[in-house]
Amino acid sequence: MTAVPALLLTRTVDDLRTQVAALKNAGKRIGFVPTMGALHEGHLALVAEARRLSDAVAASVFVNPTQFAAHEDLGTYPRQEARDAELLAGAGCSILFAPDAAEMYPDGFATSVQVGGPSAGLETDFRPDFFGGVAVVVAKLLNQVQADVAVFGEKDYQQLMVVRRMARDLDIPTAIVGAPTVRDAHGLALSSRNAYLSADELAVARRLNGILRQAAEQAKAGDPAAAEAGAAEALLKAGFATVDYVAIRHAESLAPFSGGVDAPARILAAAWLGKTRLIDNMAV
């Protein structure tokens, strides 16, 4: 892999396209990593994968307001652009696109993107506007950057499937690649929202991965519905306040199984600790 230039910061689509065009004109294959900032090792692993698949990587930092409901944490979501830029530079990123809301959603913006299929159920049952907001901002970012490949984390597995379906359906030429979830030493999936957890909550959160792993093994051996119910009960006993869902679904379509697990599958879960909502998933 060739050396990359110093990190270039841009806040406008026009400037972003100029910078990307210069790299493409130099024969560079472009990778892209979209983020909402508050970066951690999980995000940096996405950059590393994008670098492996390309010659130069662009990353975006944009806290997208259209995917937050009125009661959610848009106002308090962690923002640390200077640190994010430093981390991206250290990871070998070439371009940081950090627009404001007016650049992404100018006056008169009136377009929506709706994705069916893998968006049905799970997150949509609890955050009905979420994937509409994700789809429109990702469609815009993919169009703005026009990268050869974009890397998304498998921690947000349903989101990955929605983005992949959207790109396929809309003939977006960027290849959508999923990268494995990065976990701490206890198995907890890294997330920007983990910073909200108290020490006691963190100890409970670290049990989520093990409970899902046990349910995945149970599902392979028998009834997925029983595995789902058992995992939800185990999460409550472990100290989670509420379980939004534990579901075993077809790995690509995210359709439910009508009987036993007879195809590649994924177990997905969302649960609350205090005011913090955690999600996780793994292959079955």
37 Rama class: left (phi>0) / alpha (psi -120 to 50) / beta = left
Q: Other C-beta atoms within 10 Å of 17: how many?
A: 14
pLDDT at 1: 43
pLDDT at 78: 86
Torsions phi, psi for 250 (to 5 deg): -55, 135
Q: With bands split at pLDDT 50, 70 and 90, how would you rate the model's confidence at 45? A: very high
pLDDT at 234: 98
Q: Which of 43, 71, 186, 250 is catalytic?
A: 43
- Read off the pLDDT of residues 71-103 as tens digits, 9 standing for 90 and up: 888 898 889 999 999 999 999 999 999 999 999
Please report which residue ranges of the chain form alpha helices under DSSP H.
13-25, 41-53, 81-90, 101-104, 123-126, 130-145, 157-169, 199-205, 208-221, 224-238
Class in CATH terms, 192-283 = alpha beta
Nearest Cα to 281, choosing from 237, 238, 223, 219? Answer: 219
CATH 3.30.1300.10 in the chain: give the residue spans: 192-283
Q: With bands split at pLDDT 50, 70 and 90, how would you rate the model's confidence at 221? A: confident
Judging by DSSP bridges, how do beta strands 276-283 and 265-273 pair with one another?
Answer: antiparallel
Distance in angstroms (rounded) separating the CA atoms of residues 110 and 80:
30
Q: With bands split at pLDDT 50, 70 and 90, how would you rate the model's confidence at 5? A: low
Mean pLDDT of the chain: 95
Query: Is the confidence at residue 4, as pLDDT, over 70?
Result: no
CATH 3.40.50.620 in the chain: give the residue spans: 8-179
Average pLDDT over residues 214-238: 94
> What proportion of the chain, given as a percentage, has pLDDT over 90?
90
Q: Annotated catalytic, 43?
A: yes
Query: Is the confidence at residue 148, as pLDDT, over 70?
Result: yes
Q: Which two tokens stand for residue 238?
A: 């472990």
Query: Is the confidence at residue 6, as pLDDT, over 90?
Result: no
Average pLDDT over residues 133-159: 98
Query: Is the confidence at residue 250, as pLDDT, over 80?
Result: yes
Q: Which two tokens stand for residue 112?
A: 């929506």
Average pLDDT over residues 211-234: 94
Q: Which residues contact 43 (CB under 8 A, 6 or more apart)?
A: 33, 35, 87, 153
274 Rama class: left (phi>0) / alpha (psi -120 to 50) / beta = left
Query: Is the confidence at residue 2, as pLDDT, over 50?
Result: no
SS3 sequence of 130-189 = HHHHHHHHHHHHHHHHCCCEEEEEHHHHHHHHHHHHHHHHCCCCCEEEEECCCECCCCCE
pTM: 0.94
Query: Tell me, what DSSP letter sits at residue 263?
Result: S
Domain 8-179 is found in CATH 3.40.50.620: yes
Cβ atoms of 139 and 166 closer than 8 Å = yes
Distance in angstroms (rounded) separating the CA atoms of residues 185 and 198:
18
Torsions phi, psi for 172 (to 5 deg): -75, 125
Q: CA angle at residue 10 from 6 to 11, to 5 degrees?
A: 160
pLDDT at 258: 85
